A = this chain, B = another copy of it.
């Protein structure tokens, strides 16, 4: 198994991605503070390049490659924010990203990859077809596969958001992130454990896709089976590497209802004037619903992304 990144790996990642990534601002929201009786600090990764924290990990991975490897390009069969992030990171390095996507992918997802210079390789909409097509892309091009989360370079990159948050805000009692595959969560946990050991790391997960919650409870990776949640960035199961890190360093995973996710998303748009995607709303939903009680605490929350289809808002009845 690939090794667990250290705080030095995170620092090296921060240095490596520094010229390319935004240092995103930390915003506060007095209405949410009042509602929760807490002090909340929102790290706005929705303002990151490509609109999500994923740019950090992808960029760290791509710029970690030797020139020889980089020249052959990079590849993935993930089709969400990671695909867009990898496309842009590759373009910034001057190499090609190959993105295997099911023919059935939504037009907005395809457009994001194309816009950032990625090459789409279409396949049938099954996991087997995606993996087979990825194998054939690699065989043909020699590209390096960059996994969306189960990769130490990616995890180290994602952890740089928490590095910045801990620099900007002192004395946090808790740092919250959403959890899907666990890249952001495990990178955050490494940063916090090293730089602010008394701070707890709490993850929030849709109740309708609670495989990480169950994995932590059962002490083994419980796969996610056909989850149905609006938080479509959190559908994947944990990886071996992210699970190992999370198991050791994450205090708690709480689960959140779909209604609370939508209410939280709307509240953040309405009061903070900030566009976040449903996945980013999950930790805020945990606070609103009381799954995690923040009263009296200083809580850092990573708003993971802001990519939404403005024609498909969850509160608009048609």
Interface residues of A (CB under 8 A from B): 25, 27, 30, 44, 46-47, 49, 51, 266, 269-276, 306, 310-311, 313, 315-316, 318
Question: Min CB distance, A86 to chain B, in Å?
Answer: 18
**B47 lies within 8 A of A273 (CB):** yes
Given A25-B25, A273-B51, A274-B275: A310 touches B310 (CB 8 Å cut-off): no
Return chain B residues, CB-CB under 8 Å to A310. Answer: 266, 269-270, 313, 315
Return chain B residues, CB-CB under 8 Å to A276. Answer: 273
Give the copy number: 2
5 contacts across the A-B interface (CB closer than 8 A): A51-B271, A51-B273, A270-B310, A273-B274, A273-B306
In the complex, the chain B residue whose C-beta lies closest to that of A47 is: B273
Secondary structure of the A contact surface, majority rule: mixed
Return chain B residues, CB-CB under 8 Å to A270. Answer: 275, 310
Q: CA separation between A2 and B12, bound complex, in Å? A: 59
In the complex, the chain B residue whose C-beta lies closest to that of A29 is: B47
**A46 lies within 8 A of B273 (CB):** yes
**A311 lies within 8 A of B316 (CB):** yes
Question: Min CB distance, A214 to chain B, in Å?
Answer: 32
Q: CA separation between A31 and B269, bound complex, in Å? A: 21
Return chain B residues, CB-CB under 8 Å to A272. Answer: 47
Question: Min CB distance, A111 to chain B, in Å?
Answer: 11
**B306 lies within 8 A of A315 (CB):** no
Question: Min CB distance, A52 to chain B, in Å?
Answer: 10
Return chain B residues, CB-CB under 8 Å to A311. Answer: 315-316
Return chain B residues, CB-CB under 8 Å to A275. Answer: 269-270, 273-275
Other than the given A273-B276, A310-B315, 17 more pairs (CB < 8 A) read A25-B25, A25-B27, A30-B49, A46-B273, A47-B272, A47-B273, A51-B271, A51-B273, A266-B310, A269-B275, A269-B310, A270-B275, A270-B310, A274-B274, A310-B313, A311-B315, A313-B316
